[in-house]
Structure 1
Amino acid sequence: MVLFGTIVNGLAIIIGAWLGMKFKKFSTEMKDTVMKAIGLAVVVLGINMALKGEEFLIVIFSLALGGVLGEKWNIEGKLNEMGQAIERKMKRNTEGKIAEGFVAATLLFVVGAMAIIGAIDSGLRQDHSVLLTKSVLDGFSSIVFAATMGIGVMFSAVPVILYQGAIALSATFIVQFIPQQFIDSFISEVTAVGGIMIIAIGLNILGIPKIRVANLLPAILITILFVIGKILWFS
């Protein structure tokens, strides 16, 4: 089921928000410990994915060139600006904490490399491990958010399902029109590139100096070009 990981992610947010509304007392120490535990699990998942690559030179060059393009285009900065603009607009046009919780949670759960990589992984190879890990992270975060911002956090599950579901279904649709030889090579290298980005996300969660993971997203497109070149060169 292509949308399994996406649906679980949405349910995790809803359940987490419900729990947050019921139990509002979470110590800073508890939050820190749980988040670091999740961060360690994310790093292990990323390592497992990174080791699936067959051509590590493709992975290295894709990440390097992708990082150059991402920094030049300032993808992370633009995503942050977009989020801030949406938040300002919502605060002007609505009242109360419902909108505040909805916007803040949506930006946290949707804007990020993990949502994109996980959805692509679900669509390409029916592997939902990234989105299931993200579900745990989002579920716990929604508990904390709902405890402080209210029920609006629960409604952020809707854009998460629509956004990740659209990416996963698009990946599945594309696979139907691409030769199997390309798909196999593409999946292994994109998984490796995505795995390294997942490791970076895990390190960010652990509080290690911030890595601008969104600026590495062009590496996925560059990986596709490298795989196409490799197949054409050796065919």
Structure 2
Amino acid sequence: MVLTGTLVNGLAIIVAGFIGLMVQNIPEKMKTTVLQAIGLAIILLGLQMGLQTEDFLLVIGCLAVGAVLGEWIGIDSYLNKLGEWIESKLKPAKSGESGKVAQAFVTTSLIYVVGAMAVLGSIDSGLRADHSLLYTKAMLDGLSAIIFASTMGFGVLLSAIPVMLYQGMIALLATYIAAFVPDVLLEQFILEMTAVGGVMVVAIGLNILGLTTIRVANLLPALPVLALVIWILSLF
């Protein structure tokens, strides 16, 4: 089945998130230190991803245009409202809790979808019914979901929704992607997409550390902008 890998990935986040919630009652100092450690590790991951680019100007340009589009659309605001709405439907909101749920939802959703594994794994699932890459991603996402849920709370489980929608859409469209997009062009897009996603991951890490309040979701249009620019450049 084309969507097997995607479903396994989503279920891994949900199950692991529930496990993390079981150990949520940890001392506040310990929770803070763990979150700081996670933030530092995420920054390191983002730097590793970002340095893979072969064209820094392309990355900077796409991020700038994407930021303008994202702010105009208000993606971050919509995602936060979605997280709060889902949380309100699932359980009564405690005082000040809905904001935390939305923050955890947005943060972990971005972490789980901006990497190259999400795209490559979904394409493999759609074209060859090879789910091995998404199974590996499911294991990694699950392990991180335990830690995230134990420190950030219930919103982490909600990130399974955009993960399944995003990866499922790519898997279902994989045949068309392979038919119309040359391998060289796809490889270039994935390389630069990883770099653009890496910048977003660094921003997420800085937000977790409390050093910034970057609206990372508003940078997401940089990805379709990147695809469009690479396609235009390929024509010349």
Q: TM above 0.5, one fold? A: yes
Q: Where does 1:1-235 land on structure 2 (aligned, <5 Å)?
A: 7=8, 10-11=11-12, 13-18=14-19, 20-21=21-22, 23=23, 25-88=25-88, 90=89, 104=101, 108=105, 112-118=109-115, 119-120=118-119, 122-123=121-122, 126=133, 134-144=141-151, 159=161, 162-163=164-165, 165-167=167-169, 169-170=171-172, 172-177=174-179, 178-233=181-236
Question: What is the CA RMSD across the aligned residues, in angstroms?
Answer: 3.8
3-state secondary structure, aligned to 1:60: helix
Secondary structure (helix, strand or coil) at the match of 1:54 reads: coil
SS in structure 2 at match of 1:140: helix
Aligned AA (2:220): L
Write the distance in 1 (CA, Å) between the matches of 2:46 and 2:123.
17
Shift of 1:191: 1.1
Gaps of 5+ in 1: none
Whether the aligned pair in 2 keeps the contact of 1:20 and 1:145 (CA below 8 Å) is no
Structure 2 counterpart of 1:229, one-letter code:
I
Letter in 2 for 1:169: A
Instruction: Give, as a single letter, the amino acid of the residue that structure 2 aligns with 1:29.
Output: K
Kept in 1: contact 2:8–2:138 (CA 8 A):
no
Could you say if the C-alpha distance between residues 169 and 20 of structure 1 is closer, same or farther in structure 2, counting changes exceeding 3 Å?
same
- Give the drift of 1:230: 1.2
Tell me if structure 2 keeps the 8 A contact 1:115–1:164.
no
**What whole-Å deviation, never above 9, does each CA across 1:91-127 have from its counterpart, x for those lacking one?**
6xx7799xx99xx489727873223213235435858
How far off its partner does 1:224 sit? 0.5
- Percent identity over the alignment? 31
Cα separation, 2, equivalents of 1:9 and 1:183: 25
- Number of matched pairs: 221
CA pair 31-154 structure 1, distance change in 2 beyond 3 A: closer
Amino acid in structure 2 at the alignment position of 1:38: I
8 Å contact 2:17–2:149 — kept in the other structure? yes
Task: Please report the TM-score for the alignment, with normalisation by the length of structure 2.
Answer: 0.74
Unaligned runs of 5+ in 2: 125-132
Please say if residues 182 and 227 of structure 1, whose CA atoms lie closer than 8 Å, have aligned partners that are also in contact: yes
Distance 2:145 2:87 in 1: 19
Q: Report the AA paired with residue 231 of structure 1.
A: S
Question: Normalising by structure 1, what TM-score?
Answer: 0.74
Q: CA deviation at 1:142?
A: 2.2
Structure 1 contact 6–161 (Cα < 8 Å) conserved: no
Instruction: Provide the secondary structure at the position in 1 that maps to 2:235.
Output: helix
8 Å Cα contact 1:70-1:214 kept in structure 2:
yes
Q: In the superposition, relative to structure 1, how do residues 197 and 183 fare at CA in structure 2: closer, same or farther (>3 Å)?
A: same
Deviation string 1:117-161 (CA, Å, 9 cap, x unpaired) is 132354358588887665444211323567xx7xxx897586466
Pair 1:59–1:131, CA change in 2 (3 A): farther
